[in-house]
């Protein structure tokens, strides 16, 4: 029995609504989903070995601020503080769990760095986070996704136990043994990891020498989540763009000069209006590294920014993938 089947199979005992049935009905009718359509995620603990793996995948360390949305008995933030030296807080709707978490944090000697609040995750300010952890129902992940993408700083790491984020592809995912898992027959857990992408969309311009003469580069970038695609013109000639990658504010891609078989490998950091980085030029007769400064001449918005509410069809796809 998964977390999803816990909520659908035993609604009375858990005191929650039959979200699965409601969702199926909504999916069949194609009705738009609203926050009120979602029940609360029931309390199920993440096994300690999965907690550790989630924090390790996110490379949690002393400089991090970890926020656990729906913090249960506080194990995620308490472990982050005690074992990995981080700070942070957890929020939960259940007052008893919040009180228990604060007691457990004091017992672990980390009450000054791991604090728990009785608060709805939708009303929680996430701006302090460098890492966000979740173990929520799939549809709640989709509800919270716009807030994560809109309010977390680019580069913030997000880790989810068992459920993905629909069309937002994970940067990493894994399955691990979870012998102590209180739900599920196969005693395994999935872990999904994302880095919140910066905004690379729009038009970019810069000048660089090509075959010894300054040339004008114009790059047009489209973005959905961390997936970036684009086209580039160099002095009016189309070059090919390969291996475009975006991780937080770090962008990299390769341009190929069709006429001279030279290859330009760009890596840089996106700032408010520009990119600063380097380019490595390699070809039959050249091999050198140059400074690279690009200016955004036309702002753009990633496609995902337009999605404010879950699309029922996306939820259906997500459930089929579980």
Using a 10 angstrom Cβ sphere, with 0-12 exposed, 13-18 middle and 19 or more buried, the burial of residue 31 is exposed
Residue 301 CA to residue 169 CA, distance in Å, equals 18
Q: Which two tokens stand for residue 9?
A: 């199979």
- For ligand SAM, the closer of residues 135 and 217 by Cβ is 135
At its nearest, how many Å lie between ligand SAM and the CB of residue 166?
A: 18
Contact between 4 and ligand SAM by CB under 6 A: the answer reads no
**C-alpha radius of gyration, the chain, whole number:** 23
Cα-based distances in Å from 63 to 86, 182, 238, 310: 6, 32, 44, 33
- For ligand SAM, the closer of residues 113 and 161 by Cβ is 161
Which residues from 35-64 bind ligand SAM, rule CB under 6 A? 40-41, 43-46
At its nearest, how many Å lie between ligand SAM and the CB of residue 320?
A: 22
- For ligand SAM, the closer of residues 140 and 200 by Cβ is 140
Contact between 68 and ligand SAM by CB under 6 A: the answer reads yes
Q: Which of 10, 14, 57, 94 binds ligand SAM (CB under 6 A)?
A: 94
At its nearest, how many Å lie between ligand SAM and the CB of residue 144?
A: 9
At its nearest, how many Å lie between ligand SAM and the CB of residue 19?
A: 11
Using a 10 angstrom Cβ sphere, with 0-12 exposed, 13-18 middle and 19 or more buried, the burial of residue 176 is middle
Q: Which two tokens stand for residue 28?
A: 């069949």
User: Partners of 250 in the beta sheet?
Assistant: 247, 269
User: Partners of 232 in the beta sheet?
Assistant: 219, 239
At its nearest, how many Å lie between ligand SAM and the CB of residue 136?
A: 6
Contact between 26 and ligand SAM by CB under 6 A: the answer reads no
In the three-class reduction of DSSP (H, G, I as helix; E, B as strand; rest coil), residue 71 is classed as coil
- For ligand SAM, the closer of residues 17 and 280 by Cβ is 17
- The residue number whose beta carbon is nearest to ligand SAM equals 70
Q: Which of 27, 57, 93, 100 binds ligand SAM (CB under 6 A)?
A: 93
* CB hemisphere CA count around 195 (13 angstroms): 19
For ligand SAM, the binding residues (CB under 6 A) are 3, 40-41, 43-46, 68, 70-72, 75-76, 91-94, 97, 120-122, 135, 161
């Amino acid at each position: 029995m998964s977390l999803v089947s816990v909520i659908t199979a035993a609604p009375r005992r858990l005191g929650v609504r039959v979200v699965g049935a409601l969702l199926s009905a909504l999916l069949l009718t194609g009705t738009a989903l609203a926050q009120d359509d979602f029940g609360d995620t029931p309390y199920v603990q993440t096994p300690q070995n999965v907690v550790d793996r989630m924090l390790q995948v996110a490379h949690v360390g002393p400089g991090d601020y970890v926020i656990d949305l729906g913090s249960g008995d506080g194990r995620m933030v308490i472990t982050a503080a005690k074992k990995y030296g981080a700070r942070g807080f957890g929020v939960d709707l259940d007052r008893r769990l919040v009180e228990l978490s604060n007691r457990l944090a004091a017992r672990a000697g980390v009450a000054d760095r791991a604090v728990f609040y009785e608060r709805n995750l939708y009303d929680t300010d996430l701006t302090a986070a460098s890492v966000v952890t979740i173990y929520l129902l799939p549809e709640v992940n989709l509800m919270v996704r716009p807030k994560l993408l809109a309010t977390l700083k680019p580069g913030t790491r997000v880790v989810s136990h068992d459920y993905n984020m629909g069309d937002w592809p994970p940067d990493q995912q894994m399955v691990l043994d979870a012998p102590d898992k209180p739900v599920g027959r196969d005693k395994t857990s999935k872990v999904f990891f994302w880095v919140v992408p910066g905004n690379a969309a729009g038009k970019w311009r810069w000048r660089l020498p090509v075959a010894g003469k300054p040339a004008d580069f114009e790059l047009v970038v489209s973005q959905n989540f961390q997936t970036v695609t684009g086209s580039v013109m160099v002095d009016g000639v189309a070059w090919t763009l390969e291996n475009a990658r975006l991780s937080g504010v770090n962008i990299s891609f390769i341009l190929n000069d069709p006429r001279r078989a030279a290859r330009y490998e760009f890596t840089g950091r996106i700032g408010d209006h520009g990119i600063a980085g380097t380019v490595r030029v390699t070809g039959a007769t050249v091999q050198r590294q140059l400074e690279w400064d690009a200016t955004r001449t036309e702002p753009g918005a990633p496609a995902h920014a337009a999605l404010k509410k879950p699309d029922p069809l996306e939820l259906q796809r997500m459930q089929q993938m579980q």
